[in-house]
Every structure is written in structure tokens, then in C-alpha cells.
Amino acid sequence: MAYPDDLLVEGERVAWHAHPHWATQLRPAAVFPVTAAVVGFASAALRLQTWAPLAWAVLGLAGLVVVLRGTVLPLARWRATHIVVTDRRLMVREGLVSRQGLDVPVDRVTSVRVRATPFGRMVGSGTLIVDTGDGEPMRFRDVGRVERVQARLHREISRASARQRNETGTAGAVPERSAS
């Protein structure tokens, strides 16, 4: 899914866009079959009771709530979270109903570090630590292909600093006069 172009300024291009790593959805994915198994077992165990139809309705409603809160909501949050690197900034957008956003100009980034657990290294995810020199570094957990994101950020930082050098170098230059 491409990042919405209307959130970009004129001339800005997306260098990398992703959602948090897919491994963050392992637990929510497990909630559905476990809930179905528990509800099915409990329904079968209660089938001979005279009040079984009422119990089945309560079990079905409870199972629905558990699946909505444990599977559907985390999946929707995951889809609504965007981590974007452009040629000018690092952007993070989160939230379903109310949105939160963070924009960091790439020319303000002083360092980019990566941290990965053994499991994270196996599945290809980690924590991206971005320091702007303005206090505490920002940590972005569960970033997929975190080393590639780090390299992409470094590349965009280098391009931004080269662009800045070119702009300041040519803006203050005095045109040469030809000797005629």
C-alpha cells in the first residue's frame, strides 16, 4: 500500500514505507483459533443442559468480543500504523479514530541505531533508534528489515546534507566577470 501522496510536500518522494513487522500479529492471529476452540469445547460440554441455548448465546457473544478485541482491533491498528522515510523526513502515523503523527526532518537526525533481539533477528525485525540531539532518542519498535531502514535513512541524510551544501554553496557565490 503506497503512502498517501497528499501528506507529502511538493517534490517530496517516498524512499521507504511500511507497517510494523508482521511478527507483531502472531499473538492476535493465535487468539482467533484458540477462542474458537474454547467456545466450541464449552458449547459441546454444555449441550445436555436445559439452559444450553442461553449458554451458547453467552459463549458466542463472549467469543465475539474476545476475537474483536484480540484479533480484529490489533490488525486494524497495525494497518493504520505507517513508518515512512522520504527524501526530507521520517514520518510515523498511528491511530484508528484519532491519529497521531511524528515528523522528523532528516537533516536534524544525528544518529540512527538498530537493536534486535535473537527472535527479532530470526524474523527480520528490530528497534530503530533515531537521535536528533534534542534530548531522549526516539525508539520505533517492531520495524521490519530494520537494517535496510537504517541504511535508507543514512542515504537520505547524506543526500539532504549534500543538497544543503549545494544550496548554500551556490547561493552565496559571486558570479565571475570575464576579462574582456
pLDDT digits (tens, 9 = 90+) for 147-177: 888 888 888 888 888 887 887 765 544 444 4
pLDDT value of position 174:
47
Block residue for cell numbers 508482521: 22
Centroid of chain to Cα 142: 7
Q: Could you tell me the three cell numbers for 42? A: 464449552
31-35, 50-54, 173-177: which has the minimum mean pLDDT? 173-177
Q: What average pLDDT does range 43-70 have in this prediction?
A: 92
pLDDT value of position 179:
47
Residue 180 DSSP SS3? coil
Q: Could you tell me the three cell numbers for 157? A: 541524510
Q: What is the pTM of this model?
A: 0.74
Read off the pLDDT of residues 115-128 as tens digits, 9 standing for 90 and up: 999 998 998 899 99
Query: 4 or 42, which is more confident?
Result: 42
| Per-residue CA distances from 158 to 32, 102, 155 (Å) | 45, 21, 5
Is 25 within 8 Å of 75 (Cβ atoms)? yes
Beta strands in 52-109 (DSSP E): 82-86, 89-94, 100-105
133 pLDDT above the threshold of 90: no
